[in-house]
Amino acid sequence: MSEERHEDHHMDVENKLNLNSKDDINGNTSISIEVPDGGYGWFILLAFILYNFSTWGANSGYAIYLAHYLENNTFAGGSKLDYASIGGLAFSCGLFFAPVITWLYHIFSIQFIIGLGILFQGAALLLAAFSVTLWEIYLTQGVLIGFGLAFIFIPSVTLIPLWFRNKRSLASGIGTAGSGLGGIVFNLGMQSILQKRGVKWALIAQCIICTSLSTIALMLTRTTHQGLRQHKRSYKFELLDYYVLSNFAVWLLFGFVSFAMLGYVVLLYSLSDFTVSLGYTSKQGSYVSCMVSVGSLLGRPIVGHIADKYGPLTVGMILHLVMAILCWAMWIPCKNLATAIAFGLLVGSIMGTIWPTIASIVTRIVGLQKLPGTFGSTWIFMAAFALVAPIIGLELRSTDTNGNDYYRTAIFVGFAYFGVSLCQWLLRGFIIARDEIAVREAYSADQNELHLNVKLSHMSKCLFRYKQLPRRV
């Protein structure tokens, strides 16, 4: 496909995908797509920042509501298990329907599904503001917000791989840093409003902010590439793609995202209440949660840039191992606010390494053609473990110790991140072995290489390979 570049306009969204096909031994057509790596993609990146700000950034602010509910017994009959469950639902319940959401945006459009998500989230926050019973909070601040988050984020996360290749992890890092910026705003801003005006007005303010910014992002979102339309027509979407699910690398992917959710969500929702358990106020607890968001804002673009240079799996397995060490060596002995703030800032910069790298990793495993369906299955695993993570975090809290009430939680989170590192190490060895085969058979980047057979002995030899790699991994 020839392309014509117009000097006086932004890159025309109709002309930048180039499709070449190759059939594998199973009859699946492998399509090579030329990715712009810029142009209008930078506006897509801005939209992705706003989506992250309004979804994961706003969601991280639930730690403030959680601490407030636990401290003030806001709703009659509500226990710590109830409030932790609400947080888990907000994070994960919509993600359980990821394959259906993916199927819907193939039938309609990404913009339409994101628009529904914006409506769900706005309605949830507004209804939660006027809720007076526990079951109403379960349905609004839990279930409906969870659906809003999923309907916005799941379609939006597939945008970056279609617009960026060489800068993919960097773009994802910058985009997911929006959640860090959102975390700062919603942790500090909502805490201030909550103290002065109460929960009702904090939720109303959050509704206005999220709805407005997500609507701006929706107006920027574009997927109307001519090549993308051809790709969409050539792609037969399946809710459960057994061709993908039969691949060993995909199950290593499911393993590391599951461990990542256990560590990430427990840590995200625990630090504010952990600070209060040390004898400090809820406001001081919000400072620690805010430091996690500051770390995310500063760290994720850096992580994305390093991942583009050295490979997302190589960088990921190292940083997740560092996370495990920080939990064991710094969180367990933590007994004062200064250490808690420093810990929050450090872990905030790397605890969400999965977000700037997940799109690159999934694309490397299955290729662009199988990306939407694989993401749908991946979200289910993430949802299942994110749902129970807040409950695990609170249940592990000890009340019969004079030291750190969260020492068992810290041990658990450390092992969760160690599990992420282990799975990524194994996956890295598998991908290196498969890359050697793919290079010999002249497959281009982002093509479907799932049919290439990787022997265990070949994978084992590649586990300790760090130089002269066929491709960056």
Examine residue 456 and state whether it is found in any structural domain, yes or no: yes
Beta carbons of 14 and 225 less than 8 angstroms apart:
yes
Distance, CA of 81 to CA of 89 (rounded, Å): 12
Q: What is the CA radius of gyration of the chain?
A: 22
Examine residue 28 and state whether it is found in any structural domain, yes or no: no
Beta carbons of 122 and 149 less than 8 angstroms apart:
no
Q: Is pLDDT above 70 for 226?
A: no
Distance, CA of 54 to CA of 400 (rounded, Å): 39
Beta carbons of 109 and 81 less than 8 angstroms apart:
no
| DSSP SS3 for 123 | helix
Q: Across-strand partners of 19? A: 33
* Nearest CA among 403, 180, 389, 181 for reference residue 274: 403
Q: How many domains does the chain have?
A: 1
Task: Please give the residue that has the higher pLDDT: either 399 or 309.
Answer: 309
pLDDT tens digits, 382-393: 989 988 888 888
Residue 372 is predicted with a pLDDT of 77
pLDDT band at 16 (very low <50, low <70, confident <90, very high): very low
DSSP letter for each residue of 280-311: --HHHHHHHHHHHHHHHHHHHHHHHHHHHHH-
Q: Is pLDDT above 70 for 7?
A: no
Q: Which amino acid appears at position 102 of this protein?
A: T
Sign of the CA dihedral running 256, 262, 268, 271: negative
* Nearest CA among 405, 191, 376 for reference residue 282: 191
Residue 117 is predicted with a pLDDT of 96
pLDDT tens digits, 17-75: 344 445 444 445 445 556 666 778 889 999 999 999 999 888 888 878 877 887 777 78
Residue 84 is predicted with a pLDDT of 81
Helical residues (DSSP H) of 73-109, grouped into ranges: 80-92, 98-107
Residue 430 is predicted with a pLDDT of 94
Examine residue 173 and state whether it is found in any structural domain, yes or no: yes
Q: Is pLDDT above 80 for 466?
A: yes
Beta carbons of 359 and 168 less than 8 angstroms apart:
yes
* Nearest CA among 414, 415, 452 for reference residue 432: 452
Q: How many CA atoms lie within 13 A of 248 on its CB side?
A: 16
Tokens of 372: 């939407």
Please return the burial class of 142, using the count of CB atoms within 10 Å of its CB with bins 0-12, 13-18 and 19+.
Answer: buried
pLDDT band at 467 (very low <50, low <70, confident <90, very high): confident
Q: Is pLDDT above 60 for 374?
A: yes
Sign of the CA dihedral running 410, 416, 417, 419: positive
Distance, CA of 147 to CA of 141 (rounded, Å): 10
For residue 131, what are the domain limits?
35-462
Beta carbons of 409 and 417 less than 8 angstroms apart:
no
Mean pLDDT of the chain: 83
Examine residue 17 and state whether it is found in any structural domain, yes or no: no
pLDDT tens digits, 266-301: 998 888 888 888 888 878 887 888 898 899 888 988
| DSSP SS3 for 465 | coil
The b-or-e profile of 243-270 (16+ CB within 10 A means b, else e) is: bbeebebbebbbbbbbbbbbbbbbbbbb
* Nearest CA among 196, 170, 460 for reference residue 315: 170
Average pLDDT, integer, range 423-442: 90
pLDDT tens digits, 81-131: 888 888 888 888 888 888 888 888 878 888 999 999 999 999 999 999 998
Examine residue 327 and state whether it is found in any structural domain, yes or no: yes
Torsional class of 19: left (φ above 0), alpha (ψ -120 to 50), beta (otherwise)? beta
Examine residue 30 and state whether it is found in any structural domain, yes or no: no
Q: Across-strand partners of 30? A: 22
Distance, CA of 142 to CA of 270 (rounded, Å): 17
pLDDT band at 195 (very low <50, low <70, confident <90, very high): confident
Residue 10 is predicted with a pLDDT of 38
Residue 159 is predicted with a pLDDT of 84
Q: Give the residue carrying structure tokens 């051809």.
A: 230
Q: How many CA atoms lie within 13 A of 48 on its CB side?
A: 30
CATH number of the domain residue 423 falls in:
1.20.1250.20
Residue 445 is predicted with a pLDDT of 60
- Helices 190-197, 199-220: axis angle to 10 degrees equals 150
Q: Provide the pairing of β-strand 19-23 with 29-33.
A: antiparallel
Residue 36 is predicted with a pLDDT of 66
Tokens of 398: 């000890």
Examine residue 469 and state whether it is found in any structural domain, yes or no: no
